[in-house]
Amino acid sequence: MRCDQCGQSVRGESVRTATRVLCARCGERFLGAAAGLTAGGGVPEAVSTAGWLERIRRLRRRDSR
């Protein structure tokens, strides 16, 4: 299976949206953007929240190794 966003092979668990199947990295960005919009922000807040969530999860993965 391939990620509908970046085209890379999906290894492990995928993130399913209403219309797409995403790899973990693209799924994190999507969920972060959705959280930013849901919190009442516009596009700039959605982009900011997506980047923030991606960095936090990357740090947590690095610390768990």
Q: Report the SS3 class of residue 2.
A: strand
Confidence of residue 55 (pLDDT cuts 50, 70, 90): confident
**How many residues comprise the chain?**
65
Residue 24, domain member (yes or no): yes
Q: pTM for the complete prediction?
A: 0.72
Note whether residue 5 is domain-resident: no
Q: Coil, helix or strand for 40?
A: coil
* CA 32 vs CA 1, 65: distances in Å: 23, 23
Structural domain boundaries enclosing 36:
15-63
**Structure confidence by residue, pLDDT tens digits, 23-53:** 988 888 888 888 888 888 788 888 888 888 8
Query: Residue 3 falls within a domain, yes or no?
Result: no
2, β-bridge pairs: 9
Helix axes 24-38, 43-63, angle to 10 degrees: 140
